[in-house]
Structure 1
Amino acid sequence: MTHAQRINDALRRLPAWPVYALAAGWAAWLFWLGLTGGLGPEPINALERAYGEVALQLLIAGLVVTPLRRWTGVSLLKYRRALGLSAFFFVVAHVAVWAVLDLQSLSRVGAELAKRPHITIGFAAFLLLVPLAVTSNNASLRRLGAAAWRRLHRLTYPAVLLGGLHYVWLVKGFPLEPFLYLAAIIALLGVRIGWPRLRAALA
């Protein structure tokens, strides 16, 4: 038995629900830190950014699943839905903190979207994720059919790319972290989209 087979055997015994529990627990912990001063002198901005970063990390983790299985044989497919829905949960939390706690007025949301391009592309990423979250269930898969469901869920690609651009555009100066996220997203999208086409062309 190979190492990949041993890992897959162990993973088959592990359910996906702990991913949701960890996501909810981490979101609650970050919120508690914000309430108690653990996020520094600007807790709302820090909480907003922390939720957005976790969302982006989870979306990137979802992109890793297929290349990991292709190149190592280790399959995390059973956790991909949990990663995606947890990412959407953090995106919703990120948007909620921005709209309710930061702007403190839902009427200002439209004005901010029109005025600030980085918010516009971030909100576009959020809207692209909504149909994916709504259809991330077996009933939708059966209703849409596997082929249509897979086509719909390719919206993940532009959504995560827009999310990465939103993060780069958001920060002041040139800190390394947002650019590393964007580089990872571009590389993974290249692997997910370009590699199968290259293999088909060379076959």
Structure 2
Amino acid sequence: MANAALADKPAARRGAPKPARGPDWVRWSKPVVLLAGLIPVARLVYGVFGNPDLLGANPAETIEHTTGDWCLYFLLITLSVTPLRRLTGWNWLIKFRRMLGLFAFFYGFIHLMAYLGFDMVFDAEAIVKDIWKRPFVTVGFAALLLMTPLAITSTRGWVLRLGGPRWARLHQLIYVVATLGVLHYWWLVKRDLTWPIIFAAMLAILLGWRVYMKVRKRPSARRAAA
């Protein structure tokens, strides 16, 4: 995955000034965040080629579950950037949102490839039947499908090509993607729903905050118009 991210409220428009630079440490901390984001997949690779015991009794299942979990983690972290930035005033957080979205797509893509390879052995007919018959597979596949245009159009160049408002509307699909991702996980888990409930609660908070802020702005906008 290259030059990909998921973002939810861009302000960039054609001819708009570039965002203000963050603290100097933000620039050198990006490689640190990049390396930290790669630790889960590096651990899986090491398990495959160096220490199979790390992957447990069912390595294929471990790889699928680990990459799926981290896709959800990064989706929720990406959605957390805007609320944290607004609540704390740490505008430099926006510098990391693109990278966080990139990781969400990256782990989602590996998750899909693991499912296609380990479970379906890349059998096209079996894949189509599985997507059609099993709802949790259907919503998971739909989530990654919707993430793809967001990844492709994540760069500043695409913001300028599409225009800020159109780009923003497109990237609001991240809300649908995150919802489908949580639903995919919920339907996948058969017994202990603790983590699906935690993911759903976190998503509800993040989306609820956005709804609250939008409703809160309406009276101010009406007063300004009057």
Aligned pairs for 1:19-168 (under 5 A) are: 19-34=33-48, 36-75=52-91, 76-107=93-124, 108-168=126-186
Q: Describe the superposition over 1:77-127 as per-residue Cα deviations: whole angstroms up to 9, x where unpaired.
A: 000000001110000000000001222133221111011000000111111
Q: Would the aligned equivalents of 1:161 and 1:186 in 2 still touch at CA under 8 Å?
A: no
2-structure distance, mates of 1:81, 1:92: 17
RMSD (CA atoms) = 1.7
Change (3 A) 1:184 1:166: same
2-structure distance, mates of 1:21, 1:12: 15
Bigger relative CO (Cα 8 Å, ≥ 6 apart): 2
Q: Would the aligned equivalents of 1:112 and 1:119 in 2 still touch at CA under 8 Å?
A: yes
Change (3 A) 1:112 1:184: same
2-structure distance, mates of 1:45, 1:34: 13
Q: Larger Cα Rg: Structure 1 or Structure 2?
A: 2
Aligned pairs for 1:159-178 (under 5 A) are: 159-178=177-196
1-structure distance, mates of 2:191, 2:30: 39
Q: CA deviation at 1:135?
A: 0.6
Change (3 A) 1:18 1:106: farther
Q: Would the aligned equivalents of 1:34 and 1:44 in 2 still touch at CA under 8 Å?
A: no
Q: CA deviation at 1:202?
A: 4.1
Stretches of structure 2 that go unaligned for 5 or more consecutive residues are 1-21, 221-226
Q: How many residues align?
A: 195
Other structure's SS at 1:45 match: helix
Stretches of structure 1 that go unaligned for 5 or more consecutive residues are 1-7
TM-score, normalised relative to structure 1: 0.89
Specify which structure has the higher proportion of helix. 1
Residue identity matched to 2:90: V
1-structure distance, mates of 2:86, 2:113: 37
2-structure distance, mates of 1:142, 1:106: 40
Q: Describe the superposition over 1:18-67 as per-residue Cα deviations: whole angstroms up to 9, x where unpaired.
A: 43333334312123325513121111011101001001000100011111
Q: Would the aligned equivalents of 1:47 and 1:97 in 2 still touch at CA under 8 Å?
A: yes
Q: Would the aligned equivalents of 1:31 and 1:47 in 2 still touch at CA under 8 Å?
A: no
Q: CA deviation at 1:10?
A: 5.7
Taking only the aligned residue pairs, the percentage that are identical comes to: 37
